[in-house]
Amino acid sequence: MKLLTAIILLTTTTNLLSQTKSPHGFADSSIPELAQFEYYIGDWKAEMEMIQPDGSFKSIPTAMTISGKFLDDHLTYQSQFTTANGFFSTDIRTYNPKTKKWEALFLNAKAQRWHRFSASLKDGKMTTIVIGGYSGNEDFDVKTIDTVISDNQYLKHVYHSKDEMKTWTLMYRTTVTRLN
C-alpha cells in the first residue's frame, strides 16, 4: 500500500511540475470542463477579414496578437488581444458548473468599457454570446464560434444579430495561428 501511495504521489508531483513550466499555466485536471479552453493557451497571431457590402471579405491589415493562459489558481482563464495600433482588451473566464457555461468579464482598456458575457461548448465548438455587443450598448448582439483546426490553428467567426438572436450575419472571419 505504501508503494502504491508513493507511486501516485510521485506521478502527481511530476505531472504538476511539468505543467508549471509553461508560462501559460494549465487547467486543474480535477475539473474536466476546464480543458475546454486548453486549445486557446499560448501566443497567437490573428488575421482578420471583414465582410464588405457586396458580401465579399476584405483583410484587415493590422497586426493582431492574442495571448491566452490559465492563471495560478488553474481555474481562471485569461486572454489578451492587442493590435499594432495600440488596442488592448482582456477577458477573464471561469467555468460555472451550475450553468455549465464559462462566465467572462471583458475589458476594452482604451475605452474603459467593462462587459459580462458567457461561452459554452456546443457541437464541439466554443460558442460565445455577448448581449449588446462588447460594449453592452450596441444595437446588435455578438456570437463568436471557435473551430479548432489543429494544435496550431483555430478559426473564429464573429456574427451579429439585430433581431434578438433570431438570425445571425457573419461579420468577421479570423484565422488564428500559434506563434510558439
* Range 108-113 contact pairs with CB under 8 angstroms and sequence separation of 24 or more: 108/134, 108/135, 110/86, 111/135
The domain that contains 156 carries what CATH number? Answer: 2.40.128.20
Using alpha carbons, select from 66, 64, 20, 73 the residue that is nearest to residue 40: 66
Provide the pLDDT confidence category of residue 103 given band limits of 50, 70 and 90: very high
> 115: which strand partners?
106
Residue 39 φ/ψ region, left for φ over 0, alpha for ψ in the -120 to 50 degree band, beta for the rest? alpha
- The pLDDT value given to residue 12: 43
* Dist. CA 148–CA 137, nearest whole Å: 30
Domain carrying residue 164? 2-178
**What is the pLDDT, as a whole number, of residue 115?**
86
Domain count, the chain: 1
Q: What are phi and psi of 17, to 5 degrees?
A: -65, -40
Angle at the Cα of 147 from the Cα atoms of 113 and 111, rounded to 5 degrees: 10
Choice among 31-35, 65-69, 132-136, 139-143 with the minimum mean pLDDT: 132-136
